Amino acid sequence: MKEHVTDNPVGIVSGSVDADVVLSPVEQEHLTWLRDQRNRAELNRWFRQPWMLTTSDQEKWFHSLQNREKHCFIVTAAAGESSRASQKVGYVALNQVNFITRTAEFSIFIVPEFQAHGYGKKALEKLFAFAFDNLNMHLIWGEVYEGNPALALYLKMGFRKEGVLRDRAFKEGRYWSSTILSLTENEWRLQARHSSAR
Ligand SMILES: CC(C)(COP(=O)(O)OP(=O)(O)OC[C@H]1O[C@@H](n2cnc3c(N)ncnc32)[C@H](O)[C@@H]1OP(=O)(O)O)[C@@H](O)C(=O)NCCC(=O)NCCS
């Protein structure tokens, strides 16, 4: 059943909720929560920045959102999601949004306590719908460090491997390679048609 969410300024993304997550734009009040989550070792190990984020880092980052090259959302469990309803379960974003090439990078985390409940997949589906249906993007890309099981999720969602960047991160005393993945609008729509036909 569809449910209207009224307290979310980005109604395009989340005004109609018939799944289990709501995306709402990052606000100042979320910064402490975001910093604390991003600094958790289990999440941080998969991100580009190997350092701990400070309040001042977060403030600078928040002000940079005004240039619209990034679209960042808090992921909340939707109403009807039992005891988890309205809880913040993660974060998704489009980064490096380029309106000439119509490309954007995506990023995501789901807090460890809420992983493996389907929130990550639902959040990405909503993020990609926003990217293709509202920002008129042509291609979404992502970078996944070696060993990250998230790769399986992205491949399942239709992403294709573009290639491997060797030794692109240095963490935990060693270099890590990454895989670049991408998904075009056509591939996304084809995949969505197949999923709804199943
Ligand atoms: C990657 C991540 C966002 C996935 O979110 P999630 O909510 O745990 O994933 P979901 O529950 O939506 O799982 C969706 C699918 O991916 C698969 N999947 C998710 N995590 C997986 C894992 N660790 N190993 C294997 N498969 C996994 C699930 O089996 C599921 O498949 P199904 O739809 O066939 O059941 C989350 O694990 C995370 O935040 N990881 C740490 C941060 C990170 O790596 N971010 C991405 C950087 S590129």
What pLDDT digit, counting tens, does each position of 45-104 carry?
999 888 999 999 999 999 999 888 999 999 999 977 567 778 999 999 999 999 999 999
160-171 vs 3-4, strand pairing mode: unpaired
- The residues, any chain, with a CB within 8 Å of residue 113's CB and separated by 6 or more, are none
Question: Can you give the residue ranges of every domain in the chain?
Answer: 5-142
Please give the average per-residue pLDDT across 172-193, as a whole number. 94
Going by C-alpha positions, the residue among 148, 141, 153 that lies closest to residue 117 is 153
pLDDT above 90: residue 195: no
| Proportion of the chain above pLDDT 90, given as a percent | 77
Q: Which of 44, 87, 153 should be mutated for ligand 1, with most atoms under 8 A from CB?
A: 153
Give pLDDT, residue 185.
98
Give pLDDT, residue 82.
66
| Proportion of the chain above pLDDT 70, given as a percent | 89
Of 79-83, 142-146, 170-174, which gets the smallest average pLDDT? 79-83
Give pLDDT, residue 14.
39
Give pLDDT, residue 39.
97
Are residues 143 and 108 in contact, defined by beta-carbon separation less than 8 angstroms? no
For residue 142, which atom of ligand 1 is closest to its CA?
48
The four Cα atoms 81, 82, 83, 84 give a dihedral, to 10 degrees, of -10
Does the model's pTM come out above 0.85?
Answer: yes
CATH annotation of 5-142: 3.40.630.30
pLDDT above 60: residue 134: yes
For residue 151, which atom of ligand 1 is closest to its CA?
48
pLDDT above 60: residue 1: no
pLDDT above 60: residue 121: yes
Nearest CA to ligand 1 atom 31: 153
Question: Which tops the pLDDT comparison, 182 or 8?
Answer: 182
Please give the average per-residue pLDDT across 105-127, as a whole number. 96
Taking the centre of ligand 1 as the mean of its atom positions, its distance from the CA of residue 100, in whole angstroms, is: 31
Q: Other C-beta atoms within 10 Å of 110: how many?
A: 24
Measured CA angle at 170 (ends 91, 177), to 5 deg = 80
For residue 145, which atom of ligand 1 is closest to its CA?
48
Taking the centre of ligand 1 as the mean of its atom positions, its distance from the CA of residue 73, in whole angstroms, is: 18
Q: Give the span between the Cα atoms of 72 and 69, in whole angstroms.
A: 10
Nearest CA to ligand 1 atom 15: 153
Going by C-alpha positions, the residue among 103, 78, 105, 104 that lies closest to residue 90 is 78
Taking the centre of ligand 1 as the mean of its atom positions, its distance from the CA of residue 121, in whole angstroms, is: 7
Give pLDDT, residue 46.
95
Taking the centre of ligand 1 as the mean of its atom positions, its distance from the CA of residue 43, in whole angstroms, is: 12
In angstroms, the Cα distances linking 81 to 12, 15, 111, 116, 128 are 21, 17, 16, 14, 22
Burial class of 45 by CB neighbour count within 10 A (0 to 12, 13 to 18, 19+): middle
| Ligand 1 interacting residues, C-beta cut-off 6 A | 43, 46, 108-110, 115-121, 142, 144, 148-150, 152-153
